[in-house]
């Protein structure tokens, strides 16, 4: 058993799900640090194998590597397509819900909203009016989606509020975030090239033509804020009103926009285009 080999000689992946007997604890006690300076559970397994113990593997029908933030969207799409649509909340008149949509207990879908499955909406949410929830969107519990909001292929975690007239596409939004009115999360580069994201100081290709932002918990954005594709925003950070974000925002930072404003005198009625007869 080898952890993160430099050269991959086999195509079988250890998914990291184990059912152990108490023997594993004795092996862990004898496990030394790896070349990376970490205690690897795979080293403990190798000790058991060296003693002649048998380890059995069970193949999985689906496996997704969640090592990168955007990988969550792949797993989310897989499981949403296999869910069973059910409606337990309150659906107002004028709401259109297509197949494979799950609506949790205590949730209210307001009039004029349009929901295309597969979509999961958790408990005690307030959606709408006039929202457009597009396929492969997961919305957690106690989420508020204001009127005129469009969400596509995204994960919205618990207790987050997305105010009216906002757009969220191909993104992951953490819990207890507050996106101000008119927040736009772009998910497509102007040249339609592959979206890149910074990982440990390096620009990494995501193999995705459409990818929005990854927002951590407790983030706030002001009104009419715009976030460009591939940007990450750290926890407890804030984006000021009208700001356009091109780069990652570290934790506990606020990015403010200071547009140039010209001030001059104003002549009154003549310049305003009004006159008296």
Active site residues: 164
Cα(112)–Cα(150) distance, rounded to whole angstroms? 13
DSSP state of 210: B
Nearest Cα to 179, choosing from 197, 169, 164? 164
Alpha-helical regions (H) of the chain: 23-29, 41-50, 71-80, 269-272
Per-residue CA distances from 255 to 11, 54, 260, 268 (Å)? 44, 55, 16, 37
Query: In whole angstroms, how far apart are CA 216 and each of 127, 157, 206, 250, 252?
Result: 22, 10, 19, 10, 11
Give the residue from 210, 214, 141, 140 showing the smallest Cα distance to 172: 214
CA 20 to chain centre: 33
Q: By the 8 A CB rule, do 247 and 227 touch?
A: no
- Distance in Å from the first CA to the final CA of the chain: 92
Tell me if 122 sits within 8 A of 60, measured CB to CB. no
CB-based contact 177:171 (threshold 8 Å):
no
């Amino acid at each position: 058993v080898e952890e993160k080999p430099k050269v991959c000689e086999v195509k079988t992946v250890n998914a990291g799900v184990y059912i152990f007997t108490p023997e594993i604890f004795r092996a862990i006690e004898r496990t030394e640090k790896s070349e990376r300076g970490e205690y690897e559970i795979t080293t403990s397994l190798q000790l058991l194998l060296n003693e002649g113990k048998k380890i059995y593997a069970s193949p999985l029908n689906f496996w997704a590597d969640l090592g990168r933030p955007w990988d969550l969207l792949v797993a989310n799409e897989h499981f949403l397509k296999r869910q069973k649509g059910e409606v337990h909340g309150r659906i107002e008149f004028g709401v259109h819900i297509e197949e494979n949509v799950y609506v949790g207990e205590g949730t209210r879908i307001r009039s004029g909203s349009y929901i295309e499955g597969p979509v999961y909406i958790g408990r005690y949410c307030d959606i709408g009016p006039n929202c457009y929830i597009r396929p492969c969107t997961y919305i957690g519990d106690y989420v508020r989606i204001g009127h005129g909001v469009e969400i596509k292929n995204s994960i919205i975690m618990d207790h987050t509020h997305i105010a009216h007239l906002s757009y969220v596409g191909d993104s992951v939004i953490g819990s207890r975030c507050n996106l101000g009115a008119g927040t736009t999360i772009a998910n497509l580069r102007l040249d339609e090239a592959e979206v890149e994201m910074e990982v440990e100081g390096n620009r990494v290709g995501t193999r995705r033509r459409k990818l929005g932002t990854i927002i951590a918990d407790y983030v706030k954005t002001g009104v009419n804020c715009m976030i460009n594709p591939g940007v990450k925003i750290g926890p407890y950070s804030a984006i000021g009103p009208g700001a356009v974000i091109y780069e990652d925002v570290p934790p506990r930072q606020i990015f403010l926009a200071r547009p140039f404003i010209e001030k001059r005198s104003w002549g009154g009625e003549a310049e305003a285009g009004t006159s008296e007869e």
